[in-house]
Chains A and B, each alone.
Chain A
Amino acid sequence: MSTTTEIDLANPAPAKPAKARSRRGLRANATLNFWLFTGPFLIGLIVFVFVPMGWSIYLSFFEARFTVSPSSFIGFDNYKAILDNPDFTGSLVTFTVFAAFIVPTTWALSLGLALLVHRIRFMKAFFRSVFFLPTAVSYVAAALIWKMSIFNGVRFGMANTILSWFGVENVAWLANPDPPWYWLVIVTLRLWLQAGFYMILFLAALQNIPAELYEAAAIDGAKPGWQTFRYITLPQLRATSTAVILLLLIAAYQAFDEFWNLLSKATWGQPPLVELYKTALGENQDYGQGSAGAVILTLLILVITLFQGRIMGFGRGEESK
């Protein structure tokens, strides 16, 4: 993708075919070395990720209430039950719509911030810090600020105070789903917490675009601004965009904290994970059905990721070797 021939660390060339000289001696112990490097990680991954995952899959075929060592095998009944549960299937639909909205929005906001910070010369580090700092705040703390100070429904809430200057009545942001103001609360919270991290990814990618490209474009008569953005910046950011969208999609389906903290006892805006949490942990302690839902959700995310990867060509080139 790069037009530069120079090799530098910031912009490394794709892997070249290795020279036979160095390969020959190393291949013999490559297998051993592979396991030496990846062994500790893989052992941990098996113990702490795959074993619980396998356990979950096992549980999904059993009647497992108040126990994780069940004895009554019930086949696919848990799957049938959870797919017959309108709350769960509804949450999958809601979150497909939510993802279709939040993914492009977060993408655009973080790219926009990155472009601003990238072009700025004065106080660059300051602005970069300001946009990234929210990443350092936990969902617990952020939900607290949003719920208690900005969007509480009483007269001393900040949003309601500002609205009252314009003679608008107090709004019950979270309690009343009609009009659905709760989305405003959740989306602003999510954007505030997440945009900074993706901005950094874009900022890094912007640094990697060779200046020569812009110079060449200018010589060819491209208008600085929209034209160079459309024909140089955007295509150069394609790989980063793909990765960001992938991460955002996974994050949208795994959304949990802010919904759990902000929308209590609601039937709207419930992500799949909140529904599963209610099934497995909160109220029912039905680990069998919760696990069945988790398996379905994992498969769904997997399919969407593969699909998105196909369309946008994520990781191609690197894995083709």
Chain B
Amino acid sequence: MTVTDSPSIADRPRYDCRDAYVETLAELAHADHRIVGVVNDSVGSSKLNSFRKAFPDRLINVGIAEQDMVGVASGLANGGRIPFVSAASCFLTGRALEQIKADVAYSHTNVKLCGMSPGVAYGELGPTHHSIEDIAWLRAISGMTIIVPADPVETAAALRWAAASDGPVFIRVSRMSVPRIYADDYTFEPGRAITVRAGDDVTLISNGTVLWRALAAAEQLATEGISARVLSMPTVKPLDTGAVVAAARETAGIVTAEEGVSGGGLGGAVAEAVVQHHPARVSILGIPEFAPTGSAAYLLDRYGLSADGIASAARALVSRGK
């Protein structure tokens, strides 16, 4: 199911997951008239121009008004539509957090929230535009399913699953290009971790734009004789607790690596599972502060979310032993 053969993951062609997003959304909309897009003036940044052309009445642009956007989506769902809300994740989740809680999650409406350009994708624009808190915020809300796809195949599969499921879903869709990780036969299952590389010495758990960096770290560690297991965790909520506990039991420790705050997101979820079920060492890599200006790639490197940074954290765990 995974594409892990050569060439090295870092050398593969890169893709913008927004392309998979818009192609899949159009495919779903052709098949199901209930699907509509809802945006906050974010047609271009969500790459939805072609969708608007194909379905002019079904792309609802409420303007720069995120609270209204999420409320409108809830009303559309009550009317039988399946709205895919598409907006910069920083504004979608931050500006409309109470609407996401009350109108979508607590109301259990069939709204799909697509957070575009999350994490530090808007690197140079600064922390107002970084969306490193989105996962932590939404993870605290009951009933939210939170998906962080790592490549175009997973993005498309997650969207197809979301369209077919009943209830609130949040999907992060990055603009940072990533290599393909999954083969065409990949099927998304909520709450399931995928072992994208087997290993027994240490475990790397990641998702989104950082997953391929974790795979590159594992390649690096292999040359040093360290066998690293790489778990892809596309669903942060509900978490695959079983896979985390197995990793805690079978390897020297766990490194989590994510494009988000280093507390409350994937690392926080993994740490909670480990502490409650099988205490083990967990090293949480993320972004611990308002980041300085710089490109997204620069910022990921700066905070240890590069292959080198992840490998270094893994080495430290292995050297301390089980």
Partners in one complex: no
Q: Which residues of A contact B (CB under 8 A)?
A: none
